[in-house]
Structure 1
Amino acid sequence: MPNIEYGDYVKFSFFKARPSWRLLEPSRKSQLREEFSATIQEAGDDAGSPISSFSAVGTRADVDLLLFQSAPSVEAFHATAAAINRTEAAAHFDQPHSYLSLRRKTRYRHGGGNPEVERKDKRYFIVYPMTKTRPWYALSMEERQGMMNDHFRVGHGYPGVTINTTYSFGIDDPEFVVAFETDDPSDFVSLVMDLREVPGAQFTDSETPIFTTIRMPLSEALQAIG
């Protein structure tokens, strides 16, 4: 088995409020928000890593909230999900998307692949699953490295955009889950447009759905849902 440097597992959990949520009395919603927030705080404390929250209200129609968690084992995500299921608020939320992945050192030179998740705390957090085509893996490592060099060159031209690449091979549907952080979404738009022009782009099989979210305290993200 090759000597590979691994980091934490990561979980991207997306939630959408059901219509029943908006029918609740304001005082009842306030109670449920407090219960939900306390549960997430406790789950992060138990896992030894805070759970970050992001709002998708106004940026994505099928989700309202993203919770991002990292932990040394997947059992922490099970514990978090079980705790959420026990809240009264859980009856008013669906989870339309969820991704499990792992941080590890990149196979490519000069890629800046870090087995630890970089938390830059920038305003916008953009997440999408990605899968390569099978012909990509038929290329030699030298050919792939050359195409990745183009990818890295383009990325380095946008220092305001931080990338976190996580790996889902065999543990979830996509091969990768990629998370970008930026304070200016227009920088990310330009970055993606430039990446479309590099030769390696033809070997991308899928990279949707794309979730553009806004970092904020959980209490504010829940208030934004209504």
Structure 2
Amino acid sequence: MADRHFVKYTFLLLDPAWRRLPESERAEHKQEFLAACEDFGTDHLLQAFSLVGTRGDADLMLISETENLDRIHEFHVVLAQSGLMKWATQPYSFLGLRKTSEYSDEERQVPRRFKGKYLFVYPFVKTRGWYALPPDERWRIMQEHIKVGREYPTVDNHTTYSFGLDDQEFVVAFDTNDAGAFLDLVQRLRTTEASSFTLRDTPSFTCINTSPERAVNALDGAALSVGAPLG
């Protein structure tokens, strides 16, 4: 399994009461949270995204990527010890595994960062009828789907697989600097034959790519107090 990596999408929602705490206390909570992120990020891929202003049921998302599930577990145990997490709930959580597609020669096993300003994430489930089709028929149908995707080169696909690992079958993630291009892509994909085999592709999350520090600062709009070095 060393050539595959697990990708964990962790969505957090802060209790509004946390924002009414004294600024010094909120700053301490942020420092503890960021220290856990920095420790994990020294040898694993970790990115933060803000959903403030784009969703009403999530404020922040962390994407962690590791070679095994134990490290994801350990990271979240440490994260839970921070003061910030004591005021947070986790309304959504998606777990996927990088895997090469059977319909495309695109490299998807190698860990890679989300580089666009915006990230769009949603769980995806196909109908059982899709899996009843002969393999060559599924391949034929997907070629049109892939062709449409390649018409939008500014939108990068980061699909991971969740069969048996989580409630969905895939976690679909697109990053781009052009939110309008993503909207146009999704609208075009609705017209493909493959789209008729979609069972579920919601909820859909619009995320702003940012640093962990900026993501936590967006939670209350206050600057992070300068304190001891993280870690």
The residue number in structure 1 matching 2:44 is: 49
Q: Residue type matched to 1:82 in 2?
A: V
Q: Aligned partners of 1:50, 1:170: CA distance in 2, in Å?
A: 24
Q: 2:20 aligns with which of 11, 20, 23?
A: 23
Q: 1:74 aligns with which of 69, 77, 81?
A: 69
Question: What is the Cα deviation at residue 32 of structure 1?
Answer: 1.1
Q: Aligned partners of 2:47, 2:63: CA distance in 1, in Å?
A: 5
Question: What is the Cα deviation at residue 19 of structure 1?
Answer: 2.0
The DSSP-based 3-state class of the residue aligned with 2:218 is: helix
Q: 2:102 aligns with which of 107, 112, 121?
A: 107
The residue number in structure 1 matching 2:206 is: 212
Residues 172-211 of structure 1: matches in 2 within 5 Å? 172-211=166-205
Gaps of 5+ in 2: 221-231
Question: What is the Cα deviation at residue 120 of structure 1?
Answer: 4.5
Question: What is the Cα deviation at residue 191 of structure 1?
Answer: 0.1
Q: Residue type matched to 2:200 in 1?
A: S
Question: What is the Cα deviation at residue 107 of structure 1?
Answer: 1.0
The residue number in structure 1 matching 2:227 is: none
Q: Residue type matched to 2:85 in 1?
A: A
The DSSP-based 3-state class of the residue aligned with 1:100 is: strand
Note if contact 1:6-1:105 (Cα within 8 Å) is conserved in structure 2. Answer: no
The residue number in structure 1 matching 2:125 is: 131
TM-score of the superposition, structure 2-length normalised? 0.92
The residue number in structure 2 matching 1:149 is: 143
Aligned residues: 220
Q: Aligned partners of 1:159, 1:119: CA distance in 2, in Å?
A: 17
TM-score of the superposition, structure 1-length normalised? 0.94
Q: Alpha-carbon deviations, 1:174-199, whole Å to 9, x = none?
A: 00001100001100000000000001
Identity %: 37
Question: What is the Cα deviation at residue 113 of structure 1?
Answer: 4.4
Note if contact 1:117-1:164 (Cα within 8 Å) is conserved in structure 2. Answer: no
Q: After TM superposition, which residue ranges in structure 1, 4 or more long, deviate above 4 angstroms? A: none
Q: Aligned partners of 1:43, 1:113: CA distance in 2, in Å?
A: 25
Note if contact 2:45-2:113 (Cα within 8 Å) is conserved in structure 1. Answer: no
The residue number in structure 2 matching 1:65 is: 60
Question: What is the Cα deviation at residue 69 of structure 1?
Answer: 0.7
The residue number in structure 2 matching 1:8 is: 5
